[in-house]
Amino acid sequence: MTNPTYEFTRAITRRPASSITDGLRAEDIGTPDLDKMLAAHADYVAALKSTGAEVIELPPLEAFPDAVFVEDTALCLPKGAVLMRPGAPSRLGEVAEMAPTLRQCYDEVREIKGPGFIEGGDILVTEREILVGRSARTDAAGVAELAEIVSDWGHSLREVFTPEGVLHFKTDCSLMDGETILSTKRLDASGCFEGYRVLHVAEGEEAAANAIRYNNLVLMAADFPRTAEMLDREGFEVVQISNTECAKLDGGMSCLSLRF
């Protein structure tokens, strides 16, 4: 790879639809409020744009309540994009909705054909490898199919596990720079980040682990002050975005964009 894996020129987002109230959730902790979600989404897009990047903002999709979480539909790499095959049946159709945009952006777009399943939220691209966590949404066959595709593009893929009860691998971790990962203690304890510098989110602030490094910024969910202070002390420029509504659907900072 030529550029660091946190330097991007573009991103794709999709505005939340009013059907967001029907979005998938592991546990019902309240119905998301569309207006609040739209306001937070606008702040998120503005933060990405403030780095100088172009943001392709796709329209809402009423038929797919979780379509705002675009990250799960594809993996964007320097040499091409890979269309995913979500393990949640209600989300499978989101991929065909994303495909035309990726075909406009990339010369090469490949796809996970199945029978396996894999979602983008389970994939962390670092400078040296692609880590994929198996989860309730990503199975061994999906990982194997992705491994074959990305090896053609010169990447090595390592399969890891997602902690029990956690939706996606990246629910619990994010890339901060070429060698640094932000992680929950519970995920780091699995040993999957050996050889990296790991920063732990503060105790009780586990939901802060799903952040994104996007050019000069770290976008993280608001209301996790001890983790934000720690990242600030470590020299990162942190932007805090309200995540109260996406959190009701188990979503965080990474799921709201495709970055390339």
For residues 244 and 57, give the distance between their C-alpha atoms in angstroms, rounded to a whole number: 21
Site membership for ligand CIR, residue 133 (CB under 6 A)? no
Beta bridge partners of 158: 131
Site membership for ligand CIR, residue 121 (CB under 6 A)? yes
Alpha-carbon torsion angle 245, 246, 247, 249, nearest 10: 110
Q: Nearer to ligand CIR by C-beta: 66 or 188?
A: 66
User: What Å distances lie between residue 167 and 16, 24, 171, CA to CA?
Assistant: 20, 11, 7
Q: Nearer to ligand CIR by C-beta: 163 or 234?
A: 163
Site membership for ligand CIR, residue 254 (CB under 6 A)? yes
Site membership for ligand CIR, residue 66 (CB under 6 A)? yes
Query: Any idea which residues carry the catalytic annotation?
Result: 168, 255
Q: Which long-range contacts (CB under 8 A, 24 or more apart) does 163-166 make?
A: 163/187, 163/190, 165/26, 166/135
- According to DSSP, residue 70 is labeled G
* Cβ atoms within 10 Å, residue 136: 17
Q: Nearer to ligand CIR by C-beta: 18 or 151?
A: 18
Extract the tokens encoding 66. 């979780």
Query: For ligand CIR, which residue of 85, 168, 200, 213 counts as binding (CB under 6 A)?
Result: 168
Query: For ligand CIR, which residue of 251, 258, 259, 260 counts as binding (CB under 6 A)?
Result: 251
Tell me the window of 49-57, 67-75, 154-162, 227-235 that interacts with ligand CIR (CB under 6 A).
Answer: 67-75
Nearest residue to the partner ligand CIR, using Cβ: 121
Site membership for ligand CIR, residue 94 (CB under 6 A)? no
**How big is the site for ligand CIR, counted in residues (CB under 6 A)?**
19
Residue with tokens 């090896």: 151
What does the binding site for ligand CIR look like in residue numbers (CB under 6 A)? 23-25, 66, 69, 71-72, 88, 91, 120-121, 168, 171, 249-252, 254-255
